[in-house]
A and B are shown apart, each in its own frame.
Chain A
Amino acid sequence: MAHFKDFAVRYGMVIDLDKCTGCGACMMSCQAENNVAPQEDAGNKLRALNWLKVYRLSNNKEYPEHETVFLPRPCMQCGNPSCVTVCPVVATDKNEEGGIVSQVTPRCIGCRYCMASCPYHARYFNWFDPYWPGDLKEALSPDVSTRPRGVVEKCSFCHQRLMKAKDKAIANGEDPLALPEEAYQTACTEACPNGAIVFGDLNNPEHRVYELKQSPYAFRLLERLGTDPQVYYMSKREWVRRLGDNYLGHEETGSPERVLLNNSH
């Protein structure tokens, strides 16, 4: 499937699931970085809002064969984002070098078509007025606007950090489209104490993600849908890779091209 648009720079992640302990440091730092309003009761998962959510995966075998893996899920920043095509007010778009799918909350009318179309459940509706009780407002970051009730929001790969990095590069006379890997990192990547998340430009051979995404253990979620996610996962465990897509019993894991190739043989 053709790309929605080709970019010279495509930011993406490679998340090593064999290194994730599911501690939630990424979730915590994401909320603080992006002014996500706290929720008194996030127990109702249908109403909770998570830019980044850590899922617990199971190989569905009984004890003692059972295995557990944790999977952090940010927005996949798809190459062919289904959310963009359904938005009636162009509140979400993929139109900037870096390939980050934008979410312009002041434009959002809260119709939630994008949520319905996103196969990754990466988009969340603001069911409640944002509220920072007591003095919690003091800790709001000046970099990210707060969002009201009634709009959809999602992970932006900490876009404000990209803006700052580009500004800095321009001020230093450097090319903002050739940022070194360490110049722009998302909050979750920085927070992960295990180094399970690697972030960078998928098109840049000098960035680690360029190599890592080509690992035989790398896969993407539901990649046969053709969404072309910019988030890759890695696991040496076959069952984990199989959970990444709806594989039939005889199908092998891997990219659609690889599956087709294997089948033709």
Chain B
Amino acid sequence: MQRRGFLKFALGGTVGLAASPAIWTTLYDLAYWTQNWGWIPRLQNGEDLSVATVSKLDGTPLKVRVVDGRVINTSGNKDNAYSAGGLTPLAASEAQLLYAESRIKRPLKRGPDGGYAYTSWEDAESILKKKTRNAQGSLAFLTSDSSSSLNDIFSAFTAENGSRDFFFMPSDEQAAAVAWNTVGGSGSLGYDIANSDCILAVGANFMDSWGTVAHNRAVFKETHPTGENAEQAIYYAGAMQNNTAVVADTWLPVKPGTEEIFLGAVLSELIKNNIMADSSLSALASRYSIEEAGKACGTDTEQMKKLVSALKNANRPLVFAGTTEGQSLGSTVHMLAIAINAVLGRINQDGGMVALPEREPLLPSAQRYSDIFARNFVAYSMQIANGMANAPKLLFINDANPVYALSKDAQVKECLAKIDYTVCFAAHWNETCAECDLVLPAAHGLERFDDVYTPYGSGNINWTLAKPVTAPRYQARPVGELILALADELGLSLGVNDIPSLLEMRANALHADFKEYLESGDTYQEAFHDFSVPTLNFMPLHSKQAKAPLSEIALHTYINSAAGNPSTGIPPYANRAITEYQLQDGLCVAQMNKATAQKLGLADKQKAVLETKNGSMPVLVRFYEGVMPDVVAVMAGLGHTGFDRFSVNKGNNILEITQIDMEAGSDLPVWLSAVNVVKG
């Protein structure tokens, strides 16, 4: 064939093929039919139900979609007045967490070589019975969810075994309870966010991770109607422009560790502005001034004056303090917040700080919350690790992950090593499971009866029932039922036979219709009605020495609530919600503003090493002017070694190298870390 002929043939062939429908039809068919191969999952239809319950992860009322017995997804419960149908990102992950690979499928027993082997429930129960019997008077119990009525079973079981060592994980709630008790308050501290017209939140990221988040945001939705003027002013004081700060009317930068000085200055300025206070508080306030606070906290004094003026002129102001990751600032900041509410006349008022009746125990040997909060796990762990207290013979850990969530300072691993036998009840394989002798598969929140009873941050008594929307998967069992069965085996009478009966007791105590609330998923609410002003004694504050502010760079840890908590790990869908300014190239991102970076000699997107007293970790530096000077912000919740493929190989656990100091007087843990970031 001649060259010309070949070209003609090639051109003709190309035009012919392009004009022919054959090639396009083939491409279409290929695309169409390949997608019907078995390598994409086929969908399964069936009976389609919507079941109302509540998320045990953060107390969000839910509607769970169940198709053919399978849990499909969760949405907010629009019929629930407490949350107004809102959904938090964590509660949106319930279905995926239910089916996650990290679920513990069968009981696991640690062998002499340190490895784990599956065992039967019969064997596990026999071990539990034997160990509990041997540990008479030397049993400790740690759990994380303080809003569950099942705590009555756990604390009663601990008490019936001759021990008072029942603990919650450290929290803002514990610090506030200790503060309230110290100033002579009775009952539990509550915050009527719904009825306030001016809120000052110091550190408390109440739109994302502090208190009753779904309710707080329902209030925000109500008070900030789209396209209209807001009916509530929000002032947020903290080290970073976080989820609350971005929707607040004003962000007041406050360096970590200076919250006390900031609140003291607000108190002082209010009194200067003719707000009446008793001589005790006036004397206390004289220690603080806005000018000094401006220097120590890094807050603009004019902004602080405007804040004080807003609080003074508001009809229903409310002030509260807390942390972003639900740890603890100690009790002093809470006492100062109480003092500010007191001088503003906002204790036991609509839209103010309220004294809710203490959660009454339902069972005869259950411990009171005020007693439980008087002991703290961090101090207990440190004492055992250091040989200053006798280690218990047996420790039960339920739905808590202290090995991951607490700093090296708490010495949790050393403490666990000194305990004869440790049992971990968990739905998902976590870092604490890997340190325990027996690991038992616990039912997920959608597989069990439970409740959410006046969680911390509430402004009234409220109660929502959780019910199983599906049977426990694998060999998981509800921990409450398991403890009741164990008590029965040991011949202990806790005063209740099963969990629904316990929850019915709660309903009766509240004069609520158990069956109605079980069916509807609605939240029982009791309007706050005790408006008597308590007599509070702020003298204990006088003996407190204000902490000196850190002269170095301070660490600010924060959480991305979509990315789970220490008990859940990172939910499968949450990886997309972790942003490039939280995790990048497998490294935790250290956010800081340009001035801080220049001080440290760092450039944007530079690899570096973050150092604290407790260790170091690699980070990637990113500039963010929403972090105040002399502060480095790092997301907590990364660096898991437990759970599943969606949680591991993602940066480092910043919580491990944070620093804990014990507050003088209360002995409560206070998280505050000086940090250095050096070129990597």
Contact = CB atoms under 8 A, between A and B. Distances in A.
A211 to B, nearest CB: 7
A29 interface: yes
A29 B89 CA distance: 8
Contact of A70 (B89, B220, B225, B246): B246
A142 B67 contact: yes
Interface centre among B41, B45, B224 (most CB of A within 10 A): B41
Interface stretch (B92-100, B182-190, B373-381): B92-100
B219 to A, nearest CB: 10
B43 A141 contact: yes
Interface string B200-229: 000000011000011001101100111100
Contact of B92 (A32, A42, A109, A129): A32
Interface centre among A21, A67, A187, A211 (most CB of B within 10 A): A21
Contacts of B217: 21, 193-194
Nearest to B220: A194
Interface string B381-413: 000000000000000000000000000000000
A211 B220 CA distance: 21
Given A56-B579, A193-B214, A142 B85 contact: no
Interface in A6-26: 14, 16, 18-25
A214 B118 CA distance: 63
A146 B87 contact: no
A64 interface: yes
B95 A32 contact: yes
B626 A21 contact: no
B593 interface: yes
Say whether chain A's binding surface is mostly helix, strand, loop, or mixed: loop
B576 A48 contact: yes
Given A38-B96, A45-B580, A63-B625, A193 B244 contact: no
B585 to A, nearest CB: 7
A28 interface: yes
Contacts of B75: 29, 187, 190-191
Contacts of B98: 139
Nearest to B579: A56
A205 interface: no
A142 B43 contact: yes
Given A19-B220, A139-B72, A25 B573 contact: no
Interface string B571-614: 11111111111011110000001110000000000000000000
Contacts of B571: 28
B507 to A, nearest CB: 27
B100 A130 contact: no
Interface stretch (B28-36, B312-320, B536-544): B28-36
Interface stretch (A75-83, A100-108, A244-252): A100-108
A29 B87 contact: yes
Contact of A140 (B41, B576, B626): B41
A145 B85 CA distance: 27
A147 interface: yes
A179 interface: no
A151 interface: yes
A43 interface: yes
A193 B76 contact: yes
A113 interface: no
Contacts of A58: 624-626
A135 interface: yes
Contact of B585 (A32, A43, A53, A187): A43
Nearest to A36: B573
B73 A139 contact: yes
A134 interface: yes
Interface in B23-54: 24, 27-28, 31-32, 34-37, 39-41, 43-46, 48
A265 interface: no
A144 B241 CA distance: 37
Contacts of B39: 129, 148
Interface in B326-382: none
A141 B76 contact: no
Contacts of A196: 226
B99 A138 contact: yes
A14 B43 contact: no
Contacts of A48: 576
A19 B86 CA distance: 14
Contacts of B76: 190-191, 193
Interface string B437-455: 0000000000000000000
Given A25-B92, A193-B217, A56 B72 contact: no
B625 A135 contact: no
Contacts of B43: 35, 140-146
Interface string B66-97: 01001111111010000101111100110110
A62 B597 CA distance: 13
A206 B120 CA distance: 61
Contacts of A194: 86, 207, 217, 220-221, 224, 247
A75 B594 CA distance: 34
Nearest to A53: B576
B243 A23 contact: yes
Given A22-B246, A66-B626, A139-B71, A109 B27 contact: yes
Interface string B137-163: 000000000000000000000000000
B430 interface: no
A118 interface: no
A198 B217 CA distance: 16
Contacts of B70: 138-139
Given A23-B561, A192-B86, A89 B28 contact: yes
A134 B36 CA distance: 22
B108 to A, nearest CB: 17
B429 to A, nearest CB: 12
A48 B626 CA distance: 26
B295 interface: no
Contact of B625 (A39, A61, A134): A61
B44 A142 contact: yes
Contacts of A202: none
Contact of B34 (A24, A38, A62, A148): A148
B661 interface: no
B646 interface: yes
A68 B241 contact: yes
A33 B95 CA distance: 11
B579 A27 contact: no
B87 A191 contact: yes
Contacts of B627: 63
Given A23-B561, A137-B41, A195 B226 contact: yes
22 contacts: A14-B226, A19-B221, A21-B217, A22-B246, A24-B574, A28-B571, A32-B573, A39-B576, A43-B578, A50-B576, A63-B594, A63-B628, A89-B24, A130-B40, A139-B71, A140-B72, A142-B45, A146-B40, A194-B217, A194-B221, A195-B86, A211-B227
Interface of B: 24, 27-28, 31-32, 34-37, 39-41, 43-46, 48, 65, 67, 70-76, 78, 83, 85-89, 92-93, 95-96, 98-101, 103, 207-208, 213-214, 217-218, 220-221, 224-227, 241, 243-247, 253, 300, 473, 560-562, 571-581, 583-586, 593-595, 624-629, 644-646, 649-650
Given A64-B300, A130-B40, A191-B75, 18 more contacts: A14-B226, A18-B224, A20-B247, A27-B576, A32-B93, A35-B43, A56-B579, A58-B624, A63-B626, A133-B101, A134-B101, A137-B99, A139-B96, A145-B40, A146-B41, A194-B86, A194-B217, A234-B226
Among all A-B residue pairs, the 7 with the closest Cβ atoms: A193-B86, A66-B625, A24-B577, A193-B217, A195-B221, A28-B92, A38-B572
